[in-house]
């Protein structure tokens, strides 16, 4: 059996799951405000996920591939990490929990490497910024969306409410497209980094700079196709359970999320689009009043974010040893 081919298939399958698991990030607000129907929204997000291929460089892919020491990477390490990430994504999707596909992939990759070479092989200098942005991404999204809401509210004060709503519904198409671009440029790149690591191990390339175009295109096609399938349980959580959204608030939150993703993507920091948009939705809720945010749901989401990396790491440790039972 060609292990490299198995890894590529698993990686693209994870990317596909990432698409429908995280589709809520791109479409929850625009569906909840009824600017687009669910089917239209998924098609819209899927198109801009793929369009990200022509806009973003591979900064995030490079970061993911370098989270563990190269000497500790093997095909079995990568397989264990992908199986762990796929398992956790399917579990959280089933229960409608918008956890981070980014963090489950990084946790799984680290777990497989630890099983192979011990804790010393994990590059904590690369991991710590990723962990920091578990907290920073939603806070940044929240602050920016709060400011956006205040500014937009001030600018639209003198406008007729119905006319303003009409314009915001049009503008939300643009803000949703921008966030979907950020989602495609951030999330698909993580899988490119994993496939790139597999190519380095197998000697197919000597550096990520040589990553072939078919990998880039395949990853964007996989995440775009996954988005087309939607993730309706998570859409419901993101679009209505945190706070009730209008088109005005949809624009403010999506614009804030897009700004955060574009900034972190350019710096090569693999942040969670889930965390980013959740923080942005909370920000527009706070701009109305503190009580408009359903804090019980928010606390549950926060705990899901905290446990994602360690659980994925444990899953990968188990899968690594399980794989070796069958290959002996």
Domain spans of the chain, in order of start: 3-327
d(C-alpha 103, C-alpha 180), whole Å: 19
CA terminus-to-terminus distance, the chain: 14
Predicted pLDDT at 243: 56
Predicted pLDDT at 66: 66
User: ∠141-142-146 over CA atoms, to 5°?
Assistant: 115
**From the DSSP assignment, how many helices (H) and strands (E) are in the chain?**
13, 0
| Closest to 112 in 3D by CA, of 309, 327, 313 | 313
Phi-psi region of 59 (alpha: psi -120 to 50; beta: other; left: phi over 0): alpha
Predicted pLDDT at 7: 92
pLDDT in tens, the chain (328 residues): 588 999 999 999 998 988 877 766 667 777 777 788 877 887 888 888 788 877 776 655 566 666 777 677 789 999 999 999 999 999 988 887 777 887 888 899 889 989 988 888 888 887 888 788 888 888 998 999 999 888 887 777 777 777 777 888 888 889 888 888 887 777 777 788 889 888 888 889 887 778 898 988 898 888 878 877 766 555 555 545 555 667 777 888 888 988 988 888 777 777 777 778 888 888 888 887 777 677 666 777 778 778 899 999 999 999 999 998 877 5
Predicted pLDDT at 321: 92
d(C-alpha 281, C-alpha 88), whole Å: 24
């Amino acid at each position: 059996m060609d292990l490299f081919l198995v890894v590529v298939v698993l990686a693209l399958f994870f990317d596909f799951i990432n698409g429908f698991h995280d589709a809520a990030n791109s479409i929850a607000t625009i569906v909840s405000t009824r600017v687009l129907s669910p089917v239209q929204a998924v098609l819209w997000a899927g198109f801009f996920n793929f369009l990200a291929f022509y806009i973003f460089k591979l900064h995030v892919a490079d970061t993911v591939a370098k989270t563990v020491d190269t000497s500790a990477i093997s095909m079995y390490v990568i397989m264990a990490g992908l199986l762990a990430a796929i398992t956790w994504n399917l579990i959280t999707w089933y229960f409608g929990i918008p956890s981070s596909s980014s963090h489950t992939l990084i946790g799984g990759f680290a777990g497989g490497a630890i099983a192979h070479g011990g804790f010393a092989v994990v590059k904590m200098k690369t991991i710590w910024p990723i962990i920091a942005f578990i907290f920073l991404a939603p806070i940044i999204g929240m602050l920016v969306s709060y400011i956006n809401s205040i500014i937009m509210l001030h600018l639209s004060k003198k406008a007729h409410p119905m006319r303003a709503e009409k314009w915001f519904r049009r503008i939300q198409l643009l803000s949703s497209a921008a966030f979907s671009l950020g989602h495609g440029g951030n999330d698909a790149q993580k899988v490119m980094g994993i496939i790139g690591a597999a190519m380095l191990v197998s000697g197919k390339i000597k550096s990520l700079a040589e990553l072939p175009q078919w990998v880039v295109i395949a990853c964007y096609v996989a995440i775009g196709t996954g988005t087309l399938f939607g993730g309706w349980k998570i859409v419901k959580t993101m679009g209505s359970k945190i706070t009730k959204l209008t088109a005005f608030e949809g624009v403010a939150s999506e614009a804030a999320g897009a700004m955060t993703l574009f900034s972190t993507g350019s710096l090569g920091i693999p942040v969670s689009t889930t965390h980013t948009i959740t923080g942005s939705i909370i920000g527009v809720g706070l701009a109305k009043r503190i009580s408009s945010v359903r804090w019980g749901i928010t606390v549950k989401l926060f705990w899901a974010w905290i446990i994602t990396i360690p659980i994925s790491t444990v899953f990968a440790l188990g899968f690594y040893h399980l794989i070796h039972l069958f290959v002996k």
